[in-house]
Each structure stands twice: as structure tokens, then as C-alpha cells.
Amino acid sequence: MPGRSVNECWNVTNLDDYRLLEEPYYKPLGNEVALFEAAYENRMPMMLKGPTGCGKTRFIEHMAWRLGKPLITVSCHEDMTASDLVGRFLLDVEGTVWHDGPLTQAVRYGAICYLDEIVEARQDTTVIIHSLTDDRRMLPLEKKSEVVRAHPDFHLVISYNPGYQSVLKDLKESTKQRFGAIAFSYPEQALEAEIVSHESGVERGVASTLVKIAERSRNLRGHGLDEGASTRMLIHAGQLIARGVPLGEACEVALVLPITDDPDIRDALSSSIAACA
Amino acid sequence: MTVTELKQLLQIGSGSDEAEPSVLTEEVRAVFDETEIARWLRASRKLEQAGYGYSVVRRYVRHSVAVGRLVSPIAAIDLADAVSILAIKSGLATAEKLPPAAERAAERLQNDQLYHAWLGLMQRVAAIAPESMASLLGRMDYLMAHLNVSRLEAWVLAGVRASGGDPERRLRFFEFIDPEAERWLQREAGEVIFADVERRLKIYLAALWDLHNPMREPPVNAPVVARRRSSFDRGIIRLPTSYTGFRGQDAEDLYRAAVAHVGAHLVFSGERYPLKKLKPLQVALISLIEDARVEQLAIRQFPGLRRLWLQFHIAQATGALTAPSLFARLSRALIDPDFSDVDGFVQRGRELFYAREADWEDPQLSRELGGLLGNTLGQMRIQFNARTYVVEPPYRDDNLGLWDFDEDLSQETLEAEQLFDSVRIEQQDEEDETPPDREREEVEEVPDEEQPQARSRSIEVDGIPVARYPEYDYVTGRERPEWTTIIEYLPPPGSADRIDTFLAERSDVVNRISNLINAARVGRHQRHKRQMEGEYLDIDATIEAAISCRAGETPDPRVYGRWERRERNLSILVLLDISESTRDTVLGSHLSVLDLERQATALLAHAMSGIGDPFALAAFCSDRREAVHYYRVKDFSVPYDALSKARLAGLESGLSTRIGAAMRHAAADLERQLTHRKLLLVVTDGEPSDVDVSDRKYLVEDARKAVQSLSQKGVDVFCVGLDSGGDSYLTRIFGRRSVVQIDRLDSLPEKLPLLYLRLTN
């Protein structure tokens, strides 16, 4: 499963643990599946752009399952160093032993490596993927004096949330230009309701109401909110409702409170939710 | 009581022969005991002997008895002193009004302590605002209907402060000519006022309808009836200052209902209906049907709105068959499926409306049905008075926005409104006696299409009001919301060369600072050894661990090392005081205080741009609370370039030091920075002061409050004081550890950058 932590998987040589056994539910919004398959044929590094919780991660899981490849996911954070991706020496009884990082594993044994929220990582960390993203397709392990040639199955995918962009956090131009990109956004009403209904188990009617509520919050994007409620949030609210929580409370818990600390916006959102149902 | 009777009364107990105890009525005897009667008579006699005239004395005698009955005999006797004080301060005509007002106050308060608090307040006001006393007493009933004594005191003091020592403005306030008076009253009365909920309503409108129309209060000159309902016109939504009679949650719901309703109009109402020759009755009915139509469409989309709106439909299916009552019942019948009304007109209206459910999308439906119902009503010979008609329920708007009156609201008014909305501030009333300057007069003569540019040009020169901030009044212990207005200016560019020349002259200092900067520079890597996690094996730790292993001991697991960048994560805003006092020449130098501030800032800016911290430069001075001038020398988002230097060179001394407001505004900029630390560096040369504040402590306490609230928001405030004498108040404002005094002013340029490096490293 993709959620498995790296430390549990020291020195694996086959990546079976990273294979998806069941088909992850994914409802295509357009021709992104075909586009991704074409990109994969050429091992073209891909960038999945879109707001949080709109289904980027689910999409890549679905594609990994479709293509029958293992998927190694790394959630990037601001303290992440190159060693966290590439690997490091560890100490054991006999002396030092090298341990491949998740990126090196994917390169060596052939997996889709998905770097989630890449902008979060420090810029000096992100440059190490450069040699993997052009026709060299190799990863130099400086400390180990080794060059790892990429396995033919290796494919690099990153996710990138344009909403987070700021002067402080943005991808280097030289990094950006190495990727092809697929844009994601929240699905249109009926489709989103179908997804919410499928994932949370609530009826279509309730799911439609939830989608309508989400649209209210998305109207506030740039007018007090950085981002409206995501499909993921709606699924959360739906799951609560499916457990018998009343809609208003479920939305309060899953949507209003997490999304903002501003009392005025909370108030307006709660009132809008009341208007929707 | 005749004069003779009064005279006789006053003789009692004075030792005179004419004394005639029979004039002491039963009422008096019921209120006072023997000794109290004597004291009361003595007090009355004193008033008479002071020569205030019988009119004053008679009123005192009459109303004080009532006060004595309602509150206490002592209260009645004490009233005499207050009358006397008012007579001295504000004149006899005013003093005459006190006893009746006191009786009414006593009626409301019925409590000795509260009554005395009220009486004390009257005496204080007579001392500080004698000219307004008569107006105040004249409106006492109205005021006390809304306010208790402590809130009344807060309201009165707000009025006194608001006028900044100008008796005429004070009078305008207490006469309620100044709209602030009403607004403050509503606020003190605890009514939900528009300003409190404005932001929420805007967000609500945006969330619900994805509309971003500006919202306003009704214009000051609007008639009272027009101020009671919302209204919309060409994109601008007007909402009442408050909904009288609704409080707390109800009032907020009412505002929300009004906004949702106007939003429904904006989304579903089509073109304006031509007024043509329609009668007022027809207009009202068509509007009513249109209200119901857009609400039904809105409810289709947002079913919860029905709940929100229904709570205000309280019409009952009984009562007189008047037009307003029938209209309210019809309104309810059209939205409330559970409402049943036997009246033929209401039933017919409902049947007609629901029979055409398929056509609800069509705005012309309202005209058609309204016309039909108008005929029905006409046959019933129901009178309709258009002048007194007010739309019900209260959340509905006056419907003026639905009709085309053929009057041309000129485009520039609209743009002007929107312009003001973009800075989120209400239009200021011109209260200054000074005539508008040339610049502005010219602007108004500019032809329409050039208006917007002309206006923005005038902003460059005149400054633009951008924000309002509260101010803390230590006397009442409360913040007065929206008390100060910040007007932003771009300082006229001076010569950037001046700055560069100065830097060249002081190259020694510049070099020294540059060396320090290099030492403090961003991005130095630091090696961390013996870590639990890291990028490489720390060789020393590894060897030790290996030895431990061989020796059979448990090795220390901290065998890694890593490189870490020590990132500076700080933004800084330098706020310069450029009040009049900075014009003074510094002892032993030919430079003014402002010149030294400028030089110091130039060196500091040099240091800051060298280190790479995001920084901004600004200056302030003030001219009363309505005009706190704020000069943007350099913003965070722009580079420190020749223009910034020119602006720095262009700063000039003038006006006063309202430091709290300026700090709040500077901090608002600073808060938007994403850095970990935010530092506001204030350079000031004197005590906070302003022409409309006479109390020296007031602005100091406000500034102190400002510093405290900023530190809660994560903004550190540090002050550089240029006035060695003013140690105590700066310490009071900023706290002992956050003030540094520069005693030799000419050393400021060197010291400021060093201070900055010390503060930030």
C-alpha cells in the first residue's frame, strides 16, 4: 500500500509492497487518463496541478493500479533534505550500511515516484531530481560514489498546488520546465455529487446539497478564503452524515471549522450552509 | 403654584412672620420628614436668593418633590446644588430644564445610587460642555430610553471627545446633527449596527450569490422612512444603520435575510420595470409579487432561505382590511405554505401566483399578476397611502431598484461609491469650516468621462482615506471602534541624491555596517553534529558508537550530522515620527531632528537591503483623529531604489503625533508578511499629542494599548526615543525593555543600524 512508511521497507529489492491490489475509485473528469498513459509511454515527468483535495493523489494511485506499477509516495515538507529522498548511511553492528531513500528505490527498481506538494520542499532539495527528468535518467549518489541508472519503469510525478504560490515558495523555473502538466479542479456539480455519494455512502440528494455548500465556500476564494472546501472535505462531511450526524453539524465539523479561523467568515459560511438545506 | 404661594413657602422656617405652613402640601409632608423639610426649604431659598428667578425655583420645588418621592429625600435636596451649578455654567434657561429632566430620570432609575451618578454626570457635562447642556437635557428622555447611566456617560464622553474641544462641533453632536451621534447611540445601546456586521454580510453575499456589490448605509440626508429598509440601486446595496426593535441574533438574522433577499433580486430580477403610468398601489403590488417570485426562485436553489425569511413573516389572518395589513398577509401567504387566510384577496393572490408556478422564471409575471391584483383591490375600495407605506416584513427592500424612474444617476456617482468601497471606508462628512481647496474645486468641474482619472490624481496629492482604527479611552476603559481615520499619502519625491551624498560622506559608517552585514548575512550554513537524524554520518560519533558496540555497550544513537541553514525570517517596518517638533534644530548641529531621522533611516535601509530582510519605510503625523497622515516611503513589495530614496528625502515636518493610530496601521501591513518575526521599529522624538486631545495621558494610554494588542498579534514593537526627557512615557507605552533612548541625537545615524543588527541577530 502506498501509505507504508519508508523505514519499514529497508533494502527491499522488489517493490511488491508498493503495488496497489485493488482498483482505487476514480471518476475521470476529462481525458486525463489517456493523457497520463501517453506521457507514461514516454516516461515524461508529469506535474499534477490543482487545489488541495480535488483528487490528484487518488488519480495517481488509480493510474499506478491501471499501469500495474508500484507507487512510492513522498509527502514533501520544508525540512526535507536531499538525503531524505536519496538515502543515507546507517550504522549497524558491522559498520556502516547504505540505505536507499524512496526516490533511489523507485529509480533502481522501477516505480512511479510521486512527490506530493513538491513546493513545500527546500529548493536545494528539489534540484536533485533534475538529472532524472531529462534524457540522462540517472541519479548520482554522491556519498556512495555510485550512479544509479533509472529502471525502464521509473516515472517521476509531482504535485503542485498553484494556490499556495508565494514569493517564498515557488518552483524554480528550471525545475518547472522539465515537466508536462495536467490541471485538476473540482468536478462539475453532478459529477462531484456522484463522487461524494460513492465515497461517503450518503444519498445523491444529500451529496448534491454538500456540493452546493462547497460552491458557497468556493465563491469566497480570494474574498477571505485561500481555497474553498475541497471534494475531500465534502466526503468527510458525508461520512459523518452517513453515521447519523445532522448535516449542519457535520458541515461545521468537516468544513467550516477546519477551513478558517476568521469568525466573520465562519458566521457567513454557517449561514450559507443553513440556506442550502 | 403661584408666585405668592411660592414666596410664602420659601418663608417657612426662615424666621419670618409671613410664614404660612399651610402651603406645605400633603405630598411634601409625605416625602420629607421634619428635618428634611427644613433642609429642602433651605435649598430652595438658596436658589431664590442666588437670584435665579422664580421660574427656576418653582420648577425645582415642583420636580424635586417628585424626585424625593421616586428616589430619596436627599436626592431631592441635592438637586438644588446641581441646578445652581448649571445656572452658573450654562445659564438660567438651561438650569430651568434640569428639574423636569431630573424627575424623568428619577422615574426611570428609581435608585438613589444611579440617580446620583446621573446627577453627577450632568454637573460634569455642564463643566466641560456648557453650550450643549440644554440640547442634552432636551433629549434626555430619548437617550435614557436607550441607555443606562454608564452607557449614557460613555456616549456623552464620546461626544465630547469626538468634537476635540470645538464647542460648535460638540453642539452639532448633541443636537444630533452630526450623524456620529446617532451611530454612537446605537452602538452604546447595544443595537446591532450595520458597521458591526458589514464584513459578515459581504462574505455572506459573496458565498451565497457570488456577488461582490458594495454595501452602504443610507445617505445621511435620506428621510427617516427610507432609512428603515434596505435598498439597492445599480449595484450598490444600502442597509439600515440598525433595525430598531431587533436585537442580538434576531437583528443579525434580519440583516442576513435582507442581504439574501437583495441578492435574490440581483440574480433573478430582470430589467427594471418602466414606471409609465402605473399607480402607486400597482407599483407596490407588482413589487410585492416580484419579491415573492425571486424568493421562490431563491428557495428552489437554497431551501434553507425559506426558514430564514419566514421568521419575519408575522402577519396574522385577522384584523382590519387595510392595504398594509392585506399586503403583509399576502406576502406571507406567498411564501408560507402553512399560512391560511380566509380573505378573498389574499386567497386570490395565492391561487394566481401558484397557478403560474411554471412561469416563475419570467420577470414579466410579476407585472401581470400585480396588475390583476391591483384591480381586485381597487374594486374592494381599499385605500392605499403611498407616503406612509413601508414594505413588510422588515427584511424586504424598498423596491426602488426594480423600477426605472427615468432619472439619470450619473455614472461618476456610482464610480465614486465604488472607489470608496475599494478602500472600505464611509464617505467623510466635510465638517471643516475651511473651504475646499482649489485642487478639489477643479476636480468637480472636470467633465464626466475624465472624472475617474481626475479623482485619482487628486488622491495622489490629497491623500486617500484607507482605514479606520479604534482608539482606547482609558477613562471609560473601552476601545472606541473606528475612531481614527488613516489618510495615506505618497510623499512628494525629493532628491535621491541627498541620500546618496550622505551615504558617500559617511562611508566609514557604511563600511562598518557592511562588514557587520556580511557577518549576519542570510544563508550561512551551520554544522550540527551528533544528531539523531541527519544527512551524513558524523565520523567522531560513528567511531565512538563502533567502539561501544565492540565493547558490548549500548551505542549512543546520535551518530549523524547535518548542515542547516540559519535562515533569517524577519520583516521590519520602520515608522518615523515627522510631527512639527522634528523641525527643531539639534543642539550643536545645523541639522533638524527630521534630517537626522532621515540619515539614520538611509543607513538603516542600506543595512536592511544588504541583509535581505523584507522591510518597509513609513512616516506619520496627525491632524486630529479624522486625519492621521501616513506616508508610504517604501513598501514591502517594492525594491529599495531611487524612488524610495527620493521619497525619504521628500518627507517634511508638520502636525502632531497620534502614535497609536499610526502604529495600528503600520502593523496591519506588517501582519500580512509571512515571516516568522515581525518587527515594528518606531522612531519618535516626543510625547504623543494631537490638537483635539487635551488630556496628556489619553494618547499615551492608547499607544500602550496599541502596543499590547500588536504583541498579541505577533508584532514586536520597539521604540527609539529621541527625547531624553521623555523617558517615562515611552517606557509606559513600549515597556522598559523595548525602548532605547538616544541622548546625543547626532549619533542616531550610526546607532540605528547597529541597534537593528543587535535586535535582529
For residues B311 and B611, give the distance between their C-alpha atoms in angstroms, rounded to a whole number. Answer: 61
A189 contacts chain B (CB < 8 A) = no
Single-letter residue type at A177? Q
pLDDT (0 to 100) of residue B456 = 35
Q: What is the CA radius of gyration of chain B?
A: 35
Which of B254, B302, B531, B571 best probes binding to A when mutated, by most A CB atoms within 10 angstroms? B302
Per cent of chain B over pLDDT 90 is 8
CB count, 10 Å around CB of B81? Answer: 14
User: How does DSSP assign B237-294, residue by residue?
Assistant: EE--SB-TT--HHHHHHHHHHHHHHHHHHHHH--SPEE-TT--HHHHHHHHHHHHHHH
| pLDDT at residue B220, rounded to an integer | 64
Taking only the tens place, the pLDDT of each residue in B673-711 is 777 778 888 888 877 888 877 777 888 888 888 888 888
Question: What percent of chain A shows pLDDT beyond 90?
Answer: 62
Count CB neighbours of B477 within 10 A: 9
pLDDT tens track for B233-242: 777 898 888 8
Report CB contact under 8 Å: A219, B304: no
Whole-number Å distance between alpha carbons of B542 and A95? 9
Closest CA to B403 of B238, B275, B263, B233: B275
Tell me the helices (H) and strands (E) count for chain A, helix number first: 12, 9
The pLDDT, as a whole number, for residue B568 is 67
Kindly report, residue by residue over A16-60, the tens digit of the pLDDT: 889 998 999 999 989 999 999 999 999 999 999 988 888 999 999
d(CA B330, CA B347): 8
Task: Report pLDDT for A164.
Answer: 54
> Which pLDDT band, with edges at 50, 70 and 90, does A69 fall under?
very high
Which chain A residues are Cβ-neighbours of B308 within 8 angstroms? 271, 274-275
Which pLDDT does position B424 carry in this prediction? 36
Task: Indicate the pLDDT class of residue B2, thresholds 50, 70 and 90.
Answer: low
Phi, psi of B453 (to 5 degrees): -65, -45
Amino acid, single-letter form, for residue B651:
L
| Res A251: pLDDT | 95
Cα–Cα distance for residue pair B134/B151, rounded to 1 Å: 19
pLDDT digits 0-9 by tens, B294-347: 999 999 999 999 999 999 988 888 777 788 888 889 999 999 888 888 888 888
Q: Which of A175, A225, A174, A215 is nearest to A193 (CA)?
A: A215
Smallest Cα–Cα separation from B401: which of B541, B286, B234? B234
Chain B hits for A82, CB-CB cut-off 8 Å, are: 535
Question: Cβ of A275 and B535 within 8 Å?
Answer: no
Report for A230-234, A260-264, B23-27: range of highest mean pLDDT:
A230-234
pLDDT at B740: 78
Rg of chain A over Cα atoms, rounded to whole angstroms, equals 21
- Chain A contact set for B559 (CB, 8 A): 91
Do the strands B739-741 and B273-274 form a parallel or antiparallel pair, or are they unpaired?
unpaired
Residue B177 cell numbers, joined = 446633527
pLDDT band at A12 (very low <50, low <70, confident <90, very high): low
Whether residue A220 and residue B203 make contact (CB cut-off 8 A), yes or no, is yes
CB contact, 8 Å: B206 with chain A?
yes
User: How many helices, marked H, and strands, marked E, lie in chain B?
Assistant: 31, 16
Q: Determine the Cα–Cα distance for residues A252 and B579; give it in Å rounded to an integer.
A: 50
How confident is the model over B108-113, as a mean pLDDT? Answer: 82
pTM for this model (two decimals): 0.62
Would you state the pLDDT for residue B518? 64
Contact: B206, A89; criterion CB under 8 Å = no
Set of chain A residues whose Cβ sits within 8 Å of the Cβ of B250: none
Q: What is the mean pLDDT of residues A72-97?
A: 85
**Could you tell me how far CA B573 lies from the centroid of its own chain?**
25
User: Which residue in chain B has the smallest CA separation from A271?
Assistant: B204
Q: Please determine, for residue B415, whether its predicted confidence score (pLDDT) is greater than 50.
A: no
- B658 pLDDT above the threshold of 70: yes
- Percent of chain A topping pLDDT 70: 92
- Distance between CA atoms of B163 and A232, rounded to whole angstroms? 55
Q: In Å, what is the CA distance from B251 to each residue of B240, B242, B244, B291, B689? A: 11, 8, 9, 21, 39
**B494 vs B366, residue with greater confidence:** B366
**Contact status, residue A192 vs residue A186, Cβ threshold 8 Å:** yes
Position B725 confidence tier, pLDDT thresholds 50, 70, 90: low
Interface ipTM: 0.81
Mean pLDDT of chain A: 87
Identify the pLDDT of residue B461: 53
Q: Tell me the percentage of chain B whose pLDDT exceeds 70.
A: 86
Maximum Cα interatomic distance, chain A, rounded to a whole number of Å: 68
Q: Rounded CA gap, B583 and B593, in Å?
A: 6
Neighbours of B364 (CB within 10 A): 11
| Cβ contacts of A189 within 8 Å, gap of 6 or more | A208, A211, A212, A215
Determine the pLDDT at residue B451: 37
Convert the pLDDT of each residue in A223-260 to its tens digit: 888 888 999 999 999 999 999 999 999 999 999 999 98
What's the pLDDT at A68? 93
Kindly tell me if the per-residue pLDDT of B263 is higher than 90: yes
Most confident segment among A85-99, A196-210, B207-221, B601-615? A196-210
Say yes or no to pLDDT of B412 above 80: no
pLDDT over threshold 70, residue B565: no
Which pLDDT does position B14 carry in this prediction? 60
* Mean pLDDT to the nearest integer, B140-144: 83
Per residue in A163-194, pLDDT (tens digit) is 654 445 677 788 889 999 999 989 999 999 99
Does A95 sit within 8 Å of B546, measured CB to CB?
yes
Neighbour-count burial of B532, counting CB atoms closer than 10 A to its CB (0-12 exposed, 13-18 middle, 19+ buried): exposed
Q: Is A21 within 8 Å of chain B by CB? A: no
In this complex, which of A88, A219, A276 lies closest to B535 when CB atoms are compared?
Answer: A88
What is the per-residue DSSP string for B514-559? Answer: HHHHHHH-TT-EEEEEEESS-SEE-HHHHHHHHHHHHTTPPPPS--
pLDDT score at B269: 87
User: Across residues B497-522, what is the average pLDDT?
Assistant: 72
Of B106-120, B222-236, B418-432, the range with the lowest mean pLDDT is: B418-432
Note whether A171 contacts B: Cβ–Cβ < 8 A.
Answer: no
> In the predicted model, is pLDDT for residue A198 greater than 80?
yes
Q: Scanning the structure block, which residue is given the C-alpha cell 451565497?
A: B208
Grid cell, residue B438, equals: 482649489
What residues 233-262 of chain B have any CB closer than 8 A to a CB of chain A?
Answer: 256, 260
Assign B201 a pLDDT band (cuts: 50, 70, 90).
very high
pLDDT at A111: 94
Contact B561, B528 (CB under 8 A): yes
Better-scored residue on pLDDT, B99 or B5: B99
pLDDT at residue B31 tops 50: yes
pLDDT for A149 equals: 94
Across residues B389-412, what is the average pLDDT? 75
pLDDT at B407: 56
Mean pLDDT of B435-439: 36
Å between B588 CA and nearest CA of chain A: 47
Please tell me the distance from the alpha carbon of residue A52 to that of residue B441, in angstroms, as a whole number: 53
Q: Which domains does chain B have, with CATH numbers?
A: 3-188 (no CATH), 194-404 (no CATH), 525-565 (no CATH), 570-760 (3.40.50.410)
Q: What is the pLDDT of residue B457?
A: 34
φ and ψ of B756, to 5 deg: -60, -45
Tell me the per-residue pLDDT of B599-620, one tens digit each, with 9 for 90 and over.
Answer: 888 888 877 777 777 888 899 9
Residue in the block written with cell 413657602? B9
Take residue B267 and report the three cell numbers written for it.
Answer: 440574480
Instruction: Please state whether B624 falls in left (phi above 0), alpha (psi between -120 and 50) or beta.
Output: left
